[in-house]
A = this chain, B = another copy of it.
Amino acid sequence: MAKVADKYLKVDPWAIIEEGFDPERNRTSESVFSLGNEYMGVRGYADEGYSGDSLPGSYFNGLNEEMEVGNHYKGIIRSLRYMVNAVDWLYTRIAVDGESLDLARSNVKDYTRRLDLRTGTYKREFIWHLAGGKKLKISFTRLVSMTMSHLGLQQVTFEPLNFTGTVDICTGLDFGMVHEERGQSMWKRLRSGGEGAVTAIMAGTLTTGNKLFSGFLLKSSQPVNTELVERERFIGRTFSLDLSQGEPASFTKLAVHVADSSASRTEEGLWTEGMELAATADRLEEREVFADQASYWSSIWATSDITIEGDPENQQGIRFCIFQLVQTYHGDHPGYNIGAKGLTGEAYRGLAFWDTESYCLPFYLFNNPKAARSLLEFRYKTLPEALQRGKEVDCEGAFYPIATIDGTESCDLWQHSNLQLHVGTAVSYGIWHYVKNTGDREFLYSKGAEMLIQISRFYASRGQWGQRSGKYGYFGVMGPDEFQLMVNNNCYINLMAKKLFEFTLDTVAEMKQKVPDEYAAVAAATALRDEELADWDNKREHMKIPLDTESGVYEEHDGFFDMPHIDIHSIPVTEFPLYSNWSYDRLYRYDMIKQPDVLMFMFLYNGEFSREAKLANYEYYESRCIHESSLSPSIHSILACEIGKPEEAYQFFEFATRLDLDNYNRNTREGLHTTSIAAAWMNIVYGFGGMRSDGPCLSFRPTMPRQWTSYSFQVRYEGVLLGITVNKDSVSFRAVDGGRTEVLIYDQPVMVDEAGTELPLGEGMMA
């Protein structure tokens, strides 16, 4: 199962660089060079159009379309929502002397792409050798603004190297982009036209009533006469630029978007809002926009950078991860979630999974706690849909969807959407983890408690009592390990349910005592009955947690230990991924697991298990795990660090930061592995840095991979930004932005302040 890098991009500490154009890798590069600002995202496709293999994709968080799925059993979804490909606001067509620019056909040299992680800009540059001998240097620079989320900027510069003449340009807004899975544009034009400096179009999705306003302004280095062009789903302007040999000429397009995924605005209202917003963009200076963007990223790097000395590839890799995470989500807009591919492609249909709370939340929690809260707010906002879904499956309370864009279940495989229960406990864990590390009881009391009660209600109605065991548990479920399709008493699910009940009961007890009015409010809002609390306590107490006491190994589910054995190393490499090469039913009848399940809760509730227990379970399950989820290796790496297997830890880490840069899974073309990117961050901070955030206070047991000289990372905790640097023989902790806070370092309480603390690297912590 060794994953192999496809080394291609240049290594640079602060940029992603492609030199030369490779049509075979074009879709992959389009994913890697994606830009986003959480409000919208755009793949790194060619502004000027490209007739070769490409996935031009432009996405707006939450904008969705609906698709019928053909199933009629009760409780199985009948339609799903997906993120819809939206407007191509970079649409630009270029011709000189009637010859059109198209990388698939034109003679182009000195091609480079560059994504600058410090300025947040993406630039393509090349020299176009025209048929008649003319050479024209062209560069395309774009950004999506991190501070003005409705704004995208495109700047195109032309420098004629050996001639004087003109270039003909058509630039505009195109809603005709094909949604690849559906094979057509999913939009109809609602309105379009030019008003003053603004040229705009507004379109609606075909069935869901989502709307998007898109308008643009043109600025150019010389006065130009433009002509309006309108087609069915397109509006744009044509014009020409005069070119003088050796002198750059350019134009800039400022595009302003307003998306309405709630169908809450009228057409008239949205048009007016968009037009007004677009008009204000007229006052913006381009250089201000660029400066603003660079300043934003400068502040991000000041607080969230990770440095790795002695390993330029992972240095670049982890910065790319952090850059993409912040681009995808930073919590400015409540009600957004993080799709498995962020806003970088159609794969997984833009849907968010349990990855959000289980893998992504820690990055935000320790970098941008407000964003962490916003993620949890998404679940609060979609509580009504989860309650409705609970009813659909004949249960009480909130059944959070395994895959969703708007709160409704959108996974069309019933075996996942009906049997995988673990989003609910991921949410309750997220609330617990967030509140524990931020102390934000306002959130807990006002929103968290309501979710906890409704999730507990679901788990109390979905579970059952084993007839022989007399124990409570969950029958007919699929745990995180998706290679065991329908089992009873999945250990992860049972244990997480037990913790859920405990946290809910603790919260209720705390609220009763400390905030009786708020408790009364939430109890009334949820019609909570005292019998329910007793019921949850009883189920918690009698929860089945299958454990082989002799070996100390938890049984992943009833009967797992009897599952037929397969030596996973005996499976030929050519058979991976197994989902593609094995008969579907065959995947599910071995003691082979897809991703951590027992080990996952040993990571989440790390402090509750002894080192010996972790070692025994790691050795049992790791040898049976084929990591067919990109989320899997980092969890193993983190635990391997803890139990003293530094080489294995490093092997599992090896492709974490560069999963997409080196296209390890050979499917980056479909979009970035956005949630895996979060696992790379955890891999360094929780893995090598040895941070734990599930105990009474934050703790660290840093280790030092022998492959590195030193590394550093920062986490925000109790309002203090802690900077941690690990060298070959020492670790230092400092409160970067003032203040002080106590943490455990190698189990010793240490008060970290601005002056900092330096300690020797823990014994045995050097690989």
Contacts and interface: CB of A to CB of B under 8 A. Distances in A.
Given A475-B563, A475-B589, A584 B74 contact: yes
A280 interface: no
Contacts of A581: 74
Contacts of A488: 559, 562-563, 589
Interface in A399-434: 414-415, 418-419
Contacts of A76: 584
A486 B583 contact: no
A26 interface: no
A75 interface: yes
Given A418-B585, A584-B414, A561 B467 contact: yes
A582 interface: yes
A229 interface: no
A475 B75 CA distance: 26
Contacts of A74: 579-584
Contact of A564 (B475, B579, B588): B475
A749 interface: no
A281 interface: no
Contacts of A584: 73-76, 414, 418
B586 A75 contact: yes
A469 B562 contact: yes
A233 B583 CA distance: 42
Interface string A471-490: 00001100000000110100
A491 to B, nearest CB: 15
Contacts of A476: 485, 585, 588-589
Listed residue (A75, A562, A565, A588) with the most chain B CB atoms within 10 angstroms of its CB: A562
Interface in A27-47: none
A591 interface: yes
Nearest to A566: B464
Contacts of A287: none
Interface in A569-588: 579-586, 588
A187 B250 CA distance: 61
Listed residue (A70, A466, A476) with the most chain B CB atoms within 10 angstroms of its CB: A476
A465 B562 CA distance: 9
A582 to B, nearest CB: 6
A403 to B, nearest CB: 16
The contact size tier of chain A is 35 or more
A579 B76 CA distance: 12
A228 interface: no
Contacts of A469: 562
A182 interface: no
B464 A585 contact: no
Interface in A219-260: none
A73 B392 CA distance: 27
Given A486-B486, A558-B559, A393 B583 contact: yes
Contacts of A564: 464-467, 475
A105 interface: no
Given A418-B584, A563-B475, A591 B394 contact: no
Contacts of A561: 467-468
Interface string A70-81: 100111100000
Contacts of A75: 582-586
A369 B559 CA distance: 45
A532 B606 CA distance: 49
B475 A394 contact: no
A563 B489 CA distance: 11
A418 B464 CA distance: 28
Contact of A583 (B392, B467, B468, B583): B392
Nearest to A475: B589
A585 B419 contact: yes
A746 to B, nearest CB: 40
A430 B236 CA distance: 72
A43 to B, nearest CB: 24
A678 B733 CA distance: 81
A579 B583 CA distance: 27
A468 B562 CA distance: 5
Contacts of A70: 70
B468 A588 contact: no
Contacts of A467: 561-565, 591
Given A465-B564, A562-B466, A564-B475, A586 B394 contact: yes
A402 B2 CA distance: 38
Interface string A269-302: 0000000000000000000000000000000000
Contacts of A590: 464
A395 B582 CA distance: 11
A74 B564 CA distance: 21
Interface string A359-401: 0000000000000000000000000000000001111000000
A596 B728 CA distance: 68
A75 B563 CA distance: 21
Contacts of A589: 464, 475-476, 488
Interface string A484-525: 011010000000000000000000000000000000000000
Nearest to A474: B589
Interface in A582-629: 582-586, 588-591
Contacts of A414: 584-585
A393 B581 CA distance: 10
A386 to B, nearest CB: 15
A585 B415 CA distance: 8
A550 B579 CA distance: 43
A583 B488 CA distance: 18
Contacts of A392: 583
Contacts of A585: 75, 393, 414, 418-419, 476
Interface in A535-565: 558-559, 561-565
B475 A586 contact: no
Contacts of A485: 476, 486
A559 B487 CA distance: 10
Interface in A67-109: 70, 73-76
Contacts of A466: 562-564
A502 to B, nearest CB: 23
A418 B486 contact: no
A582 B488 CA distance: 19
A550 to B, nearest CB: 13
Given A393-B583, A393-B586, A464-B564, 14 more contacts: A73-B579, A73-B584, A75-B584, A392-B583, A394-B583, A418-B583, A418-B584, A464-B590, A465-B564, A468-B561, A468-B562, A476-B588, A488-B563, A559-B559
9 contacts: A414-B584, A414-B585, A415-B415, A418-B583, A476-B585, A476-B589, A486-B588, A488-B589, A558-B562
* Shortest 7 CB-CB contacts between residues of A and residues of B: A75-B583, A464-B564, A475-B589, A73-B584, A418-B585, A476-B589, A468-B562
